Amino acid sequence: MSLVDTLKEHQKQAMRDKDKLRLGTIRMALAEVKQREIDGQTELNEAEVIAILTKMVKQRKDAQQQFEQAGRQDLAEKEAAEIVILQDFLPQPLSEKELDDFIAQALTETGATGMQDMGKVMGWLKPKVQGRTDMGQLSGLIKSRLT
């Protein structure tokens, strides 16, 4: 079953359960997927859907932080709840060891020796770890290995 099909099934279940927050979050995710499909006039693959969900999680984390700074705890809690819902559909995060193994493999495969090879390493890693790790954290780990 594809990720979009899974989202649609969970949407139906949220309707049956009358879970407004979950239903709204899933609808928002499906709307974003549909919009990208219409814009690109193509059907998205799993990696592209994961990228959309990852971006949505990142947006919500940013919004949560801003709401907390503004003293709007009620809105920050809503964003946190949406993050949890979206993360249910993302692949399991990579452990530190798995991430280190991927980085070592990427450095070997690309023949990277310095910071000028950062783009090659990120290009090799991105499709393999998308949605399973924070790309900013990954970038920092690669930089520490390349310098």
- pLDDT value of residue 68: 95
Q: Write down the pLDDT at residue 7.
A: 94
Assess contact for 50 and 130: CB atoms under 8 A: yes
| pLDDT at residue number 90 | 86
The whole-number pLDDT of residue 146 equals 78
pTM of the entire structure? 0.75
Protein fold of 96-146: Arc Repressor Mutant, subunit A (1.10.10)
CATH topology of domain 3-87: Hypothetical Protein Yqey; Chain: A; domain1 (1.10.1510)
User: What is the model's pLDDT at position 134?
Assistant: 79
Task: List, for the chain, all residue ranges whose pLDDT scores fall below the cut of 70.
Answer: none
Closest CA to 89 of 58, 54, 125: 54
Count the residues in the chain. Answer: 147
What radius of gyration do the chain's Cα atoms show?
A: 18
**Distance between CA atoms of 86 and 90, rounded to whole angstroms?**
7
Q: Give the pLDDT confidence score for residue 100 in this predicted structure.
A: 86
Domain ranges of the chain: 3-87, 96-146
Domains 3-87 and 96-146 alike in fold: no
